[in-house]
Structure 1
Amino acid sequence: MAADMRLPVIRKPVSLTSAFDRKDRKDLVVPGDVITSDTGFMRGHGTYMDEEKLTASVAGEVERVDKLICVKPLKTRFNGEVGDVVVGRITERRRSAEDELTMREYLQEGDLISAEVQSVFADGALLLHTRSLKYGKLGQGVLVQLSPSLVKRQKTHFHNLPCGASIILGNNGFVWLYPTPGHQEEEAGGFYTSLEPVSLSDREVISRLRNCLLALAAHKVLLYDTSVLYCYEFSQPHQVKDILKPEVMEEIVMLTQQKLMEQEG
């Protein structure tokens, strides 16, 4: 019978005090928490006034822009915007029979795809398109589902990481990890659908990235190419399966946060 035992170890001290000394620091609050009693601030989304005190109405992160204070929920339903990148699985078709027959030449129900939000309807429904080599059917890889609120909006959500794998950070919280294609067109992304077996080394890189994503998400760290890459680098001294151990997760995430703050200056 095998048992996994974790003994106390001396851990390298990591200081994040500089982050909390900054005026633009962000705090986590729950409903009912008093954010400030300073009457000089304006009330934003996710807040209300209670006995002249600005109070949180939702659980989330306090954001301050000049004199405006709002609370960004940590867990939110994805509300797409035009230009957003999404990753998902096809479940049904909603166009005409002619359109459906045409689309079936390329995509089938059950296929995983990356797409872009083309327009947003009044009821919140999204019209997606894959009319670019940047989007389309996804091949070999790993899908990770996270909170949409943790995915940082950037100019591009397709990244070929120097560790040998690529990532699509869907604004809807679905993240796709896959081996970086050896031969690809410029701006290539989800169109690459090779079903060739993935090498062991590539699988190890993808598995490490997957656990890094889960570690960052567990500590509510924004997900973008830089934060994921830093976390990957700091995870190297540990085996892939150990990254999700609480003490290892905390260590690599704190080191990641520290490096991100140093980068921001």
Structure 2
Amino acid sequence: MRELRVLLNQTQKVRLQAALQHLRDLSFQASSPAIPVTIADTIPVNREDGILKGHGTLEFNGQVVATQCGVVEQVNKLVYVRALKARYKPEVGDIIIGRVNEIAPKRWRIEINFSQDAVLMLQSMNLPDGIQRRRTAVDELNMRSIFEENDVVCAEVRGFQHDGSLHLQARSQKYGKLERGQLLTVPAYLVKRRKQHFHHLEQYGVDLILGCNGFIWVGEHVVLGENEMPEDQESRMENQEQNFTPLKVRQQICRIANSVRLLSAHGFSLSLEIILDTAEASVSSNVEINDMLGAEFYVQTAEREVQRRASLLKKSRR
């Protein structure tokens, strides 16, 4: 996703700077002040407490210094530096979205915004017929009929290999190939790990998947049947191929996608609530879809975030 560039007039610049200053003040009030450090800065610690040096720290000339930029945090005796902007670090159980790069023997290699491509084994996913059986040479020959190059897929992190590569699994109906939608790329640190990453926005008729790796999918809603027979699955897939996505649904997909782009440009953490608030604000303000990325709505989004965080801070203090 290309970086959003917005041209602001002088009044809008003043409003935006004021909103960002309010956000900094609110974040300072909401939590204890953190100590920002850069590389080679000394971290003030009490040596008598027997502290443990964690990630981003190093002992030099009897002092603990930072080896990366970020803020100092301490958990019990462990002192470490948390980077404000970090790359995606996979964990087992993460919901990720990726794009197929290569079809290899008995596996697909998938690009997931990580230093290495992830691997999805043929035996780690459900076959199109839905029958649980051993994979044969015929299944291996038909791998391209399941996923082919440049297909967008959703899966779950299963584990790590000794070389650091990831193994994925897609043994549920909610995983698999994603079609009829938009794939957005945002910084991975904007997507926090939550209990639920699959969302059905009923009022818009679209599905929203927040991938922990920074890939976000906004697409047409797909009905999943828990006890669906293989014949029903095949007929449903054929009907989806024959039917086109309605214009209204495509417009709603673009509205939700523009909300994600706007929030990502501001650097706000992405959650279902804030994405829906942004989309509903555009509807209530009669803002056209292509005008959501304009200067005025860009500034209004920052001002709404100030009001939202201020109300949350008041509720937490009651």
Which TM-score band (shorter chain)? 0.7 to 0.9
Give 3-state SS (helix, strand or coil) of 1:91's partner: strand
Deviation at 1:153, TM superposition (A): 0.4
Q: Aligned to 1:175, which of 213, 216, 227?
A: 216
Structure 1: gaps of 5 or more residues: none
Q: For residues 63 and 227 of structure 1, what CA distance do their matches in structure 2 show?
A: 27
Q: Aligned to 1:19, which of 2, 27, 38?
A: 27
Q: Max radius of gyration: which structure?
A: 2
Q: For residues 154 and 292 of structure 2, what CA distance do their matches in structure 1 show?
A: 28
Q: Which has the higher helix share?
A: 2
Q: For residues 251 and 53 of structure 1, what CA distance do their matches in structure 2 show?
A: 46
Q: Percent identity?
A: 30
Q: Aligned to 1:217, which of 264, 280, 287?
A: 264
Aligned to 1:31: 38
Q: Aligned to 1:206, which of 253, 258, 261?
A: 253
Matched, 1:149 2:189: yes
Q: Is the 8 A contact 1:215 1:253 kept in 2?
A: no
Give 3-state SS (helix, strand or coil) of 2:300's partner: helix
**Counterpart residue identity of residue 84, structure 1:** D
> 5 Å matches for 1:177-196?
177-181=218-222, 183-185=223-225, 194-195=240-241, 196=243
Give 3-state SS (helix, strand or coil) of 1:241's partner: helix
Q: Is the 8 A contact 1:231 1:253 kept in 2?
A: no
Matched, 1:230 2:241: no
The alignment of Structure 1 onto Structure 2 pairs a total of residues equal to 256
**Counterpart residue identity of residue 180, structure 1:** H
Q: Is the 8 A contact 2:173 2:224 kept in 1?
A: no
Q: For residues 160 and 257 of structure 2, what CA distance do their matches in structure 1 show?
A: 31
Q: For residues 201 and 173 of structure 2, what CA distance do their matches in structure 1 show?
A: 19
Give 3-state SS (helix, strand or coil) of 1:89's partner: strand
Q: Is the 8 A contact 2:58 2:67 kept in 1?
A: yes
Give 3-state SS (helix, strand or coil) of 2:193's partner: coil
Q: Aligned to 1:241, which of 290, 305, 314?
A: 290
Q: For residues 25 and 107 of structure 1, what CA distance do their matches in structure 2 show?
A: 49
CA RMSD of aligned residues (A): 3.7
Q: Aligned to 1:89, which of 93, 99, 103?
A: 99
Deviation at 1:245, TM superposition (A): 3.2
**Counterpart residue identity of residue 71, structure 1:** R
Q: Is the 8 A contact 2:56 2:66 kept in 1?
A: yes
Task: With a CA cutoff of 8 Å and minimum separation of 6, indicate the structure with the bigger relative contact order.
Answer: 2
Deviation at 1:24, TM superposition (A): 3.7
> 5 Å matches for 1:59-98?
59-60=69-70, 65=75, 68-76=79-87, 78-96=88-106, 98=137
Structure 2: gaps of 5 or more residues: 1-6, 107-135, 227-232
Aligned to 1:126: 166
Deviation at 1:160, TM superposition (A): 1.0
Q: Using structure 1 for the length normalisation, give the TM-score.
A: 0.76
Give 3-state SS (helix, strand or coil) of 1:168's partner: strand
Deviation at 1:173, TM superposition (A): 1.1
1:188-220 CA distance string (max 9 Å, x none): xxx996343222322222212212212222222
Deviation at 1:42, TM superposition (A): 7.0
